[in-house]
């Protein structure tokens, strides 16, 4: 069984483009529509987490090895051995993000950090190729 590893960083092109578009829209609203600077400042403040990710370039990822599944995101880490996992659950949310949970044989769910999970289709294929049961649930509100 070959190991699988996925890593990502907060410093990426999508974040940079999204921030640029939001800030350009805010500047346009202020200049062309004479929008309130206080209101636009409040909206700009909502981009602070994305700006922090861009500057800090936090690394995150997941690894599948012969002994189990491990992940890291920022300073947080976790690990589960294969004999503890009943199956993996992939929940597609209303915003089209996919949350990954390891359902343990005890029934408890361990949710992987969103920023540490690989693209859902690739991750499902990798898990299935290793003989791990995968459940997909689309557009569930809770799970």
The whole-angstrom separation of Cα 139 and Cα 98 is: 9
Q: What is the mean pLDDT of residues 9-25?
A: 91
What pLDDT, on a 0 to 100 scale, did the predictor assign at position 138?
Answer: 83
Q: For residue 1, name the pLDDT band (cuts at 50, 70, 90).
A: low
Asked whether the predicted pLDDT for residue 116 surpasses 60, the reply is yes
Collapsing DSSP to helix, strand or coil, 87 comes out as strand
46 and 66 in a single domain? The answer is: no
27 and 85 in a single domain? The answer is: no
25 and 83 in a single domain? The answer is: no
Structural domain including 108 reads 4-8+60-138
45 and 111 in a single domain? The answer is: no
What pLDDT, on a 0 to 100 scale, did the predictor assign at position 140?
Answer: 60
Q: Does a structural domain hold residue 16?
A: yes
What pLDDT, on a 0 to 100 scale, did the predictor assign at position 139?
Answer: 78
When the pLDDT of each residue in the chain is averaged and rounded to a whole number, the result is 90
44 and 13 in a single domain? The answer is: yes
pLDDT tens, position by position, 35-83: 999 999 999 999 999 899 889 888 999 999 989 999 999 888 999 999 9
70 and 130 in a single domain? The answer is: yes
Asked whether the predicted pLDDT for residue 141 surpasses 80, the reply is no
Q: What is the mean pLDDT of residues 16-38?
A: 95
67 and 118 in a single domain? The answer is: yes
Q: Does a structural domain hold residue 89?
A: yes
126 and 67 in a single domain? The answer is: yes
20 and 39 in a single domain? The answer is: yes
**How far is the first Cα of the chain from the last one, in angstroms, to the nearest whole number?**
30
Q: For residue 104, name the pLDDT band (cuts at 50, 70, 90).
A: very high
Q: Does a structural domain hold residue 143?
A: no
User: What residues contact residue 130 under an 8 Å CB cut-off, 6+ apart?
Assistant: 1, 64
What pLDDT, on a 0 to 100 scale, did the predictor assign at position 142?
Answer: 58
The predicted model scores a pTM of: 0.73
Sign of dihedral through CA atoms 121, 122, 128, 134? negative
Under 8 Å between Cβ of 84 and 104:
yes
Collapsing DSSP to helix, strand or coil, 124 comes out as helix
Q: Does a structural domain hold residue 24?
A: yes
79 and 126 in a single domain? The answer is: yes
Domain total of the chain: 2
15 and 72 in a single domain? The answer is: no
Q: Does a structural domain hold residue 26?
A: yes
Beta bridge mates, 81: 68
The helix or strand, by DSSP H or E, that contains position 73, with its residue range, turns out to be: strand 68-73
Asked whether the predicted pLDDT for residue 34 surpasses 90, the reply is yes
Asked whether the predicted pLDDT for residue 123 surpasses 70, the reply is yes
Domain CATH code at residue 83:
2.30.29.30
């Amino acid at each position: 069984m070959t190991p699988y590893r996925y890593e990502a960083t907060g410093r990426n092109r999508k974040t940079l483009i999204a921030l640029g578009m939001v800030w350009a829209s805010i500047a346009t609203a202020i200049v062309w529509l004479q929008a309130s600077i206080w209101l636009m400042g409040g909206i700009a403040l909502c981009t602070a987490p994305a700006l922090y990710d861009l500057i800090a370039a936090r690394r995150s990822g997941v690894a599948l090895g012969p002994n189990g599944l491990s992940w890291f995101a920022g300073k947080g880490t976790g690990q589960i051995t294969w004999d503890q996992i009943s199956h993996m659950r992939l929940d597609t949310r209303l915003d089209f993000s996919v949350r990954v949970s390891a359902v343990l044989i005890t029934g408890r769910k361990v949710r992987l950090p969103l920023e540490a999970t690989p693209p859902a289709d690739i991750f499902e294929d990798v898990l299935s190729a290793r003989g791990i049961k995968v459940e997909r649930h689309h557009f569930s509100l809770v799970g």
